[in-house]
Structure 1
Amino acid sequence: MQENALETARAVARPSREAMLQRHPSVSTFWNQNSDMFAQAWAEWEMTADAGAPTLESALYDEKLRSAVDAAWSDPTKEGAVRDLWKEVFPGVYKTQFFDPEKLQTLRAYLDAAAKADIPLRPPYGISLNRGGAMLDTRSEGYLAAPGFQEFYTGLMDRYMRPVSRMLFPDVIGYDTQTFGFSIQWQADADTSLRAHTDASSVTLNINLNLLGEDFSGSGVRFFDHATRQVSELFFEPGTALIHHGTVPHESMPITQGERSNFVLWLYGENGQIPPRNAAPKAVSAAERWMLPTAKSDGFAPF
C-alpha cells in the first residue's frame, strides 16, 4: 500500500538540534527537499478525524477590537475606534487586549494538536533556538503549513496587524508589504530569556497566548528608549499584545516559574527593507491604511 504524505512525514529522519544550531547546510536541504510533502501532510492532518484541531475563527479576537476593526474595514473613517484601543505604555510601544482570553483555549488547543501531529516543524532559530516554537509564515522553511492555520494567520496579518501598524507608525507605509512570524515559548527549566536586541522588522507585534490561570513569574519584556534613556519592563496578561517599531531595543527577561507562550509577528518591505531612522511619515488617507498591498511575497526570510 502506498504511504500518504502524512505517514511519510511522520517517518522521515530529522536533523538534530545541534545541526540546526550550527546552520549545517543539510538542514536547509532537508526542509527544501521535503517542503511539498510536508505541506500535503499538514493538509491531510487537518482532514483526519483524529487531528483534534478546532477551527480558528474571528471569535478568537477581543470583541471590542474585532468590532472596531470590522467597522474600519467597512468605513475607514471609523478607524479612530481602533486607535483608541491601543494605549502607549512606553515611548513608541502600544498595548491592547488582542485575543479574548476566554476563547484562547481554542487557539492553544489547535497549536497543541499541531505540535503532537509528529510532522516536522522548524523551531525559530535567529538569535537562539527556541525549542517550543514554530515558524508560521509560508516564506520560512518548515513552517506550519496547515491550511486552516494559514488562513487564520493571513487574516491576522492583513486584516489586523498591517492597518494598525499604519495608524500608529505612519512611516512604515511602503515598508510593510511582507509578513513574517513565529511562535515562541519561554520555560523556567528550558529556554528562559533572550538578550537585548532589535528586530529586522518595520513593526513587531508580540501577542501573549497564555490561558487564564496559566501564571508565570518573570519573563517581562524590557524596553530601552534612546532619546530619553528610559528603561521599563512590561508584562503580558493573557491575550494582550505589544506593538512597536522593530528598531526599539528590547529583551525578554528570565522566566523563573511557569511558561509563557507568544506569537511574534513582523512586517517589513521587500527584501527586508525597513524605514530609515527619523524618516518623515507619508501622508496617506484612512482608506489607504485599510487597503491590502499589491506586492506579492518575495520569499525573503530574516532567519
Structure 2
Amino acid sequence: MTQPSLERARSITRPTREEMLNRAPASQQFWTQNKGLLADAWKEWEDTDLKPILDSSLFDPKLRATVEQAWDDPSKEIAVKDLWEEVFPGVYEAQFFDPTQLSVLRDYLERAASANIPLRPPYGISLNRGGAMLDSRSEGYLAAPQFQRFYRNLMDAYMRPISRLLFPDIVGYDTQTFGFSIQWQADADTSLRAHTDASSVTLNLNLNLPGEVFSGSGVRFFDRETRKVAELNFAPGKALIHHGSVPHESMPITKGERSNLVLWLYGDHGQVPRFGGHQAEVDAKQRWSVPTTPNDGFAPF
C-alpha cells in the first residue's frame, strides 16, 4: 500500500537548517528530488481539515473597493493612488490588510509552519523560525493550493498595478514575482543590516495583529540624494512600498515579535529599471493588466 504523500513528507529525512541556509549541495538536491512529493503533501494537508479561508475579505475595504473599481474601469485608478501616502522620498504607506481580518491569514500561516512539511527558510535570515518562501519559483515553497491562489491574486490584482501607478519606470520590469515571510523575534532574528533589494519594487506588509505589541524593529530608510535618514514603523495590516534600489535596514527588535510578508516584482531574469532611465508611456488600461510572460524560474535567492 502506498504511503500518503503527507505522511511521507513528514517522515522524510531533511537537510539541517544550517545546510539549507548555506545552500549545501545536499540541500539543493533534496528540494529538487522532492518537489512533487511536497506539492502533493501540501494539497493533502489543505484537504485534511477545514483551514481558514483566504480571500479578498482580508484586504482593507477601501483598498479592495478602489482596486476592484479600477479593474472594472481603469480611468478611476486615481482613487487607488490617493490611498497611498509618501512617508519618505520614494516610500509610500497605506492600509493594505483589514486589521480585523488579519487573524485569518496569521492562523493559516501558523498552521502551515507547524504542519511538519519541509519549508525552506529565506537565505540570510539564519535563525528565522517562522520564515518561508512563498513563490513557486523557489524550492521548498509554501505550495498549499489555497495559499497560492491568494498569493497570485495579491501580486497580480494588487501589487503590480499599484506599483505601476506609484513607480511608472517599473513597467516592463514587473513580469516576475517573488516573496517570503519573516518573523522577527527578540531572541532570534532581531535585525537586518542596511541593504538594497534585487527587485524593481518591494512591498513590505506588517501581519501583526492589533494588540500584538513589540519594541524596536522599525525600518530605516536612506535617501541617496539628500542623505536624509528616517525610521518608519507601521501598524497592523499596513504596507510600505518602494523601489528595491532604496537603501533600508530593519532595526533590532528588543521585545515581542513582528511578522511580515516581503514581496518583490522584477523583470525577466532579474532585470530591474536603471535609475533615471527612460519611462515608457503606459495608459491606465495597460497598468491594469496581467503580463502573459511565463514564470522564468529565476529566483534571487
Q: TM-score, normalised by structure 2?
A: 0.98
In the alignment, which residue of structure 1 is the partner of 2:187?
A: 189
Give the superposition deviation at 1:243.
Answer: 0.2
Distance in 2, matches of 1:266 and 1:128, equals 20
The aligned length equals: 301
Q: Provide the residue aligned with 1:14 in structure 2.
A: 14
* Cα deviation 1:129-158 (Å, max 9, x = unaligned): 633200000000000000000000000000
Q: CA deviation at 1:185?
A: 0.7
Query: Does the alignment pair 1:248 with 2:241?
Result: no
The answer to whether structure 1 residue 235 and structure 2 residue 233 are counterparts is yes
Counterpart Cα distance in 2 of 1:190 and 1:128: 9
Aligned residue for 1:99?
97
Matched, 1:89 2:83: no
Shift of residue 122 of structure 1?
A: 0.5
After TM superposition, the structure 1 = structure 2 runs for residues 24-103 of structure 1, keeping only pairs within 5 Å, are 24-49=24-49, 52-103=50-101
For 1:19 and 1:119, how far apart are their aligned partners in 2? 17
How far did 1:2 drift?
2.0
Percent identity, aligned pairs only, is 69
Question: Which residue matches 1:220?
Answer: 218
Once residues 106 and 302 of structure 1 are traced to their aligned partners in structure 2, the CA distance between those partners, rounded to angstroms, is 29
2:274 to 273, 276, 280: 276
* Distance across 2 between alignment mates of 1:8 and 1:27: 18
- The answer (yes or no) to whether the contact 1:21–1:129 under 8 Å persists in 2 is no
Which amino acid is the alignment partner of residue 171 of structure 1?
Answer: D
Partner SS for 2:34: helix
Whole-Å separation in 1 of the counterparts to 2:162 and 2:18: 39
Cα distance in structure 2, aligned partners of 1:5 and 1:232 = 48
Alpha-carbon deviation of 1:127?
Answer: 6.2
Offset, 1:48: 0.5
256, 259, 262: which one aligns with 2:257? 259
Specify which of 161, 166, 175 is matched with residue 177 of structure 1.
175
Return the letter of the residue paired with 2:253.
Answer: I
Quote the offset at 1:17 in angstroms.
1.8
- Structure 1 match to 2:148: 150
Q: Is the 8 A contact 1:123 1:129 kept in 2?
A: no
- Cα offsets for 1:171-191 (capped at 9, x unmatched): 000000000000001000111
1:22 Cα deviation (Å)?
2.1
Shift of residue 163, structure 1, vs aligned partner: 0.1
Partner secondary structure for residue 38 of structure 2:
helix
Could you give the per-residue CA deviations for residues 31-62 of structure 1, whole angstroms, max 9, x where no partner exists? 0100000000000111102xx52110100000
| Distance (whole Å) between structure 2 residues aligned to residue 109 and residue 181 of structure 1 | 19
How large is the RMSD of aligned CA atoms in angstroms?
A: 0.9
Q: Secondary structure at the match of 1:113?
A: helix
2:21 and 2:137 mapped to 1: Cα distance? Answer: 20
Which whole-Å CA distance do the structure 2 matches of 1:131 and 1:200 have between them?
A: 23
What is the identity, as a one-letter code, of the residue corresponding to 1:221? Answer: V
Query: Hey, what does 2:122 align to over in structure 1?
Result: 124
SS at match of 1:279: coil
SS in 2 for 1:66: helix
Match in the other structure for 1:23:
23
| CA shift for structure 1 position 194 | 0.2
Unaligned runs of 5+ in 1: none
Q: 2:292 aligns with which of 287, 291, 294?
A: 294
**Which amino acid letter does the alignment assign opposite residue 151 of structure 2?**
Y
SS at match of 2:94: strand
SS at structure 2 position matched to 1:94 = strand
Closer, same or farther: CA 129–247 of 1 in aligned 2, 3 Å: farther
Report the CA distance shift for 1:296/1:126 in structure 2 as closer, same or farther (over 3 A): farther
Q: Partner of 1:56: helix, strand, or coil?
A: coil
Q: Which amino acid aligns with 1:266?
A: W
Against the structure 1 CA distance between its residues 129 and 162, is the aligned structure 2 distance closer, same or farther, given a 3 Å change threshold?
farther
Which range moves more in the overlay, 12-21 or 28-37?
A: 12-21
CA–CA distance in structure 1, aligned partners of residues 127 and 160 of structure 2: 27
Partners of 1:257 and 1:38 in 2: how far apart? Answer: 35
- TM-score of the superposition, structure 1-length normalised? 0.98
